[in-house]
Amino acid sequence: MPDGQPMLKLENVHTYYGNIHALKGVSFELQEGQIGCLIGANGAGKSTTLMTISGLERCKEGTIEFLGKPIQRIAPDEIVRMGICQVPEGRRIFPRLTVRENLMLGAYIRKDKDGVQQDLDRVLGYFPRLAERLSQDGGTLSGGEQQMLAIGRALMSRPKLLLLDEPSLGLAPLVVETIFEIIAEIAKEKITVLLVEQNANAALQLAHYGWVLETGRIVLQDKARALLENPKVREAYLGEG
């Protein structure tokens, strides 16, 4: 076990959608500065896990601790203020706001104008394509650009922990590569990343640690390298065997 307090700790988290028991006691810990990766099939509960951490879904049982503080009963906007920001599945950018307005909404919780400007420059450094399109409506961007915008928007809140839900979904392979490179770079800046992916191969190569989720339960967890070698994982999630 790594030492120190984990950045994020889920313990026995149960979440329901109506009568559907989506998370059946999920527990894991993510250390500061690391990239953690949740893999699993459609409907395994990956997005539900992220939404429960962000407070948009409520767990019925269990605890979620962020830097030692329980957050499972805290309002979603407070959770963002504490330093957790999510890039939701499907990007969910605001299509009828300009790229600049989208990015500035990412900084909604912040009052330090100079810092926000710095971060805007930093984000546009990551994604030069966005710099060219600042005054365009978000909805006019291509899928890959929208994903860049969604990630850039989340970074504008200057998060300590970044939750990424399927950043590669529906994107061309070349664009996926760019996105993963950027994620690696974000992680170098001491932002902890929790990544959810169906593209298990790319995700596990990037991550330090991985968890395999099946029908609401974590069935396997290990260092990412080890998971990549694991025959069960290779068969079920890497399309081999």
Partner 1 sequence: MDLQNLFDMSSLFLQQLVNGLTVGGVYALIAVGYTMVYGVIELINFAHGEIYMFGAFITFHLITVYKVPFFVAALVAVAACAVIGILLDIVAYRPLRNAPRLAALITAIGMSIFFQNLALIKWGAQIKSYPLEALPPFFSDVAVRIGDVQVTWLQVFILATTLLLMFALHTIIHRTKVGAAMRAIAQDKRAAALMGINVNRVISFTFALGSSLGAVAGILVGVFYNAIWPTMGYIAGIKAFAAAVLGGIGSVPGAMLGGVVLGVAEVFGAGYLSSQYRDGIAYAVMILVIVFKPSGLLGKAMIQKV
- Give residues 133-152 in contact with partner 1 (rule: CB under 8 A): 137, 139-143, 146
Minimum distance between the CB of residue 227 and partner 1, rounded to whole angstroms?
A: 28
Minimum distance between the CB of residue 192 and partner 1, rounded to whole angstroms?
A: 17
Q: How far apart are CA 127 and CA 109, in angstroms?
A: 22
CB 221 within 8 A of CB 47: no
Minimum distance between the CB of residue 238 and partner 1, rounded to whole angstroms?
A: 26
Extract long-range pairs of 20-25: CB within 8 Å, 24+ residues apart: 21/216, 22/48, 22/216, 23/48, 23/49, 23/52, 23/59, 23/216, 24/215, 24/216, 24/217, 25/61, 25/62, 25/216, 25/217
In this chain, which of 56, 121, 132, 229 binds partner 1, going by CB under 8 A? Answer: 56
Minimum distance between the CB of residue 158 and partner 1, rounded to whole angstroms?
A: 11
Number of residues that bind partner 1 (CB under 8 A): 33
Output 113 or 188, the one with its CB closest to partner 1. Answer: 113
Please report whether residue 196 would count as binding partner 1 according to CB under 8 A.
Answer: no
Extract long-range pairs of 12-16: CB within 8 Å, 24+ residues apart: 12/61, 12/62, 12/63, 13/49, 13/52, 13/59, 13/61, 13/62, 13/63, 13/64, 13/72, 14/59, 14/60, 14/61, 14/62, 15/45, 15/48, 15/49, 15/52, 15/57, 15/58, 15/59, 15/60, 16/60
In this chain, which of 52, 72, 157, 230 binds partner 1, going by CB under 8 A? Answer: 157
CB 15 within 8 A of CB 47: no
- Give residues 67-96 in contact with partner 1 (rule: CB under 8 A): 75-77, 80-81, 85-86, 88, 90, 92-96
Binding map of partner 1 across residues 36-55, x = CB under 8 A, - = no contact: ------------------x-
- Give residues 96-115 in contact with partner 1 (rule: CB under 8 A): 96-97, 101, 104-106, 108-109
Minimum distance between the CB of residue 118 and partner 1, rounded to whole angstroms?
A: 18
List of residues contacting partner 1 (CB under 8 A): 54, 56, 75-77, 80-81, 85-86, 88, 90, 92-97, 101, 104-106, 108-109, 137, 139-143, 146, 153, 157, 170
